[in-house]
Chain A
Amino acid sequence: AQSVTQPDIHITVSEGASLELRCNYSYGATPYLFWYVQSPGQGLQLLLKYFSGDTLVQGIKGFEAEFKRSQSSFNLRKPSVHWSDAAEYFCAVGAGLTGGGNKLTFGTGTQLKVEL
């Protein structure tokens, strides 16, 4: 069965600083990988996803993630954090379901705080 580990429960960074959120996964085949963000009172919003091809994936809001098969990692990065990036971030791995669809397995989330 697939699993996802987000080792950092809370991270605090200063506005303008760079950010890296860690994600490690366990999955037997080539994974479908996702990063979602949840702002207070909002649903989960997809930042980016990896299915195949280029291992460096660009997403919305200036985020990017790099798939490293050898390390089973899919870390999320942003070169300069904005105060509005304060939110909870979730890494997920997807597995195909019978009849189509994709079952997502999530990590426990990383809560990002941005200091002004």
Chain B
Amino acid sequence: EAGVTQFPSHSVIEKGQTVTLRCDPISGHDNLYWYRRVMGKEIKFLLHFVKESKQDESGMPNNRFLAERTGGTYSTLKVQPAELEDSGVYFCASSQAMGGAETQYFGPGTRLLVL
């Protein structure tokens, strides 16, 4: 069974540009999460999808971030325009719908550097 995949693995952009990160969850997983780790800090929750619906986006930093999940399958996270403080590692995770007693499976992350 394929795991969670993320693309690209690395991205280097200039301040003001746009970047789109993609996540493909494990097939059949209804829950999809985005997390971010800024250098030297903890991994922080950004948002949660159940199928194609956003259930909780309380962790999204501001309106420069837009997440979508087309047809309840893959998800994209767009940053527009990117700022220096957006640099970090963006993780995607997915899980089956089991309420609190679930295991989230993480992808390898996308390392974003904004210059």
Contact = CB atoms under 8 A, between A and B. Distances in A.
Given A43-B4, A101-B50, A90 B43 contact: yes
Contacts of B61: none
A101 B108 contact: no
A103 B4 CA distance: 18
Chain A interface, >50% SS class: strand
Contact of A103 (B48, B98, B99, B108): B48
Given A43-B91, A100-B50, A101-B95, A94 B35 contact: no
A49 B103 contact: yes
Interface string B71-112: 000000000000000000001010101111111111111000
Contact of A108 (B42, B45, B98, B101): B42
Contacts of A32: 100-101
Interface residues on A, range: 20 to 34
Interface in A50-102: 51, 90, 92, 94-102
B27 interface: no
Contacts of B103: 46, 49
11 contacts: A32-B100, A43-B4, A43-B91, A97-B48, A99-B55, A100-B50, A101-B33, A101-B50, A101-B56, A103-B45, A104-B35
Interface of B: 3-4, 30-31, 33, 35, 40-45, 48, 50, 53, 55-56, 91, 93, 95, 97-109
